[in-house]
Amino acid sequence: DGRIDYNEFVAMMTKGNGGVGRRTMRNSLNMSMRDAPSTH
C-alpha cells in the first residue's frame, strides 16, 4: 500500500545516510516547529 514501517524507515535512514537523514529530519521538524506558533 506504499506505506513504510517506521522501524524500517529509521533503519534505512541510519544505515543508508548515516547522520544525514537524521539531520534532514530534524531540520524539517524545526521548520514545522517554527511555523506552528503562527497557527495557534
**Residue located via cell numbers 544505515:** 15
Residue 18 confidence (pLDDT):
54
For the stretch 7-27, what's the b/e string if a residue is b when 16 or more beta carbons lie within 10 angstroms of its beta carbon? Answer: eeeeeebeeeeeeebeeeeee
Spatial distance between the Cα atoms of 22 and 33, rounded to a whole number of angstroms: 16
pLDDT in tens, 3-35: 778 888 777 766 655 555 556 666 666 666 666
What is residue 11's DSSP assignment?
H
Beta-strand ranges (E) seen in the chain are none
pTM for the whole structure:
0.29
Residue 19 confidence (pLDDT):
53
